[in-house]
Amino acid sequence: MVKDLGEFEVTAERGFLPSPDPLDRLPSDFEPWEAIAQNLPRLLVAAKVRAAIESLPVLDASRLGDERQIRRAMMALSFAAHAYVWGDPKPVMRIPAALSVPWHRLSQRLGRPPVLSYASYALDNWKRLDPKGPAELGNIVVLQHFLGGLDEQWFILIHVAIEAKAGPALAAVVEAQKAVLADSPAEVTRYLGVVAQTLQAAHEILLRMPEGCDPYIYYNRVRPYLHGWASHPSLPEGIVYEGVDDYAGKPRSFRGETGAQSSLIPLLDAALGVMHAADLLRTYLIEMRNYMPPKHRAFIDAVEAGPSIRNYVLERRATSLSLRDAYNAAVDSLRRFRSTHLEYADRYIFRQRQRGALNPVAVGTGGTPFMPYLRKHRDETSKHRIK
DSSP 110-127: HTS-SS--HIIIIITS-E
**pLDDT band of 51, cuts 50, 70, 90:** very high
pLDDT at 372: 82
List pLDDT tens digits, range 59-104. 999 999 899 999 999 999 999 999 999 999 999 999 999 999 999 9
Using pLDDT thresholds of 50, 70 and 90, give the confidence band for residue 261. very high
Please name the amino acid found at residue 301.
D
What predicted TM-score, i.e. pTM, was given to this entire model? 0.96
Query: What average pLDDT does range 227-245 have in this prediction?
Result: 95
- Average pLDDT value for residue range 118-144: 98
Handedness of CA 135, 222, 10, 332 (dihedral sign): positive
CA distance 304 to 286: 13
pLDDT in tens, 186-200: 999 999 999 999 999
Q: Residue 61: what pLDDT?
A: 96
Q: Which residues does 148 contact at the CB level (< 8 Å), separation at least 6?
A: 41
240-241 and 127-128 strand pairing: unpaired
The total number of residues shown for the chain amounts to 387
- Please, which residues have CB within 8 angstroms of residue 24's CB and are 6 or more apart in sequence? 72, 127, 143
148-161 pLDDT, tens digit each: 999 999 999 999 99
- The number of beta carbons lying within 10 Å of the beta carbon of residue 278 is 8
The fraction of the chain above a pLDDT of 70, given in percent, is 100
Question: Where do runs of H (alpha helix) occur along the chain?
Answer: 31-38, 40-45, 49-54, 67-86, 97-110, 118, 150-165, 167-181, 185-206, 209-212, 215-217, 264-272, 280-288, 294-305, 309-316, 321-345, 370-382
CA distance 266 to 58: 38
pLDDT, tens digit, 9 for 90 and up, residues 266-323: 999 999 999 988 777 788 889 999 999 999 999 999 999 999 999 999 999 999 999 9
Domains in the chain with CATH codes: 5-382 (1.20.58.480)
What gap in Å lies between CA 100 and CA 81, rounded to an integer? 8
Whole-number Å distance between alpha carbons of 367 and 376? 17
Three-class DSSP category at 128? strand
d(CA 340, CA 322): 27
In angstroms, the CA 84 to CA 240 distance is 13
How many Å is the Cα radius of gyration of the chain? 21
Whether 172 contacts 17, CB under 8 Å: no
DSSP 8-state code for residue 245: G
Q: Given its phi and psi angles, is residue 264 left (phi above 0), alpha (psi -120 to 50 degrees) or beta?
A: alpha
Burial degree of 353 (CB within 10 A; 0-12, 13-18, 19+): exposed
pLDDT averaged over the chain?
Answer: 95
Q: Are 241 and 375 in contact (CB under 8 A)?
A: no
Q: What pLDDT, on a 0 to 100 scale, did the predictor assign at position 283?
A: 85
| Banded pLDDT at 184 (limits 50, 70, 90) | very high
For residue 281, the model assigns a pLDDT of 76
Do 16 and 123 form a contact (C-beta atoms < 8 A)?
yes
Please name every residue paired with 239 in a beta bridge, in sequence order, or none if there are none: 252
pLDDT, residue 362, reads 84
Q: What is the pLDDT of residue 367?
A: 78
Percent of the chain with pLDDT over 90: 89
Axis-axis angle for helices 185-206, 167-181 (nearest 10): 160
pLDDT band at 355 (very low <50, low <70, confident <90, very high): confident
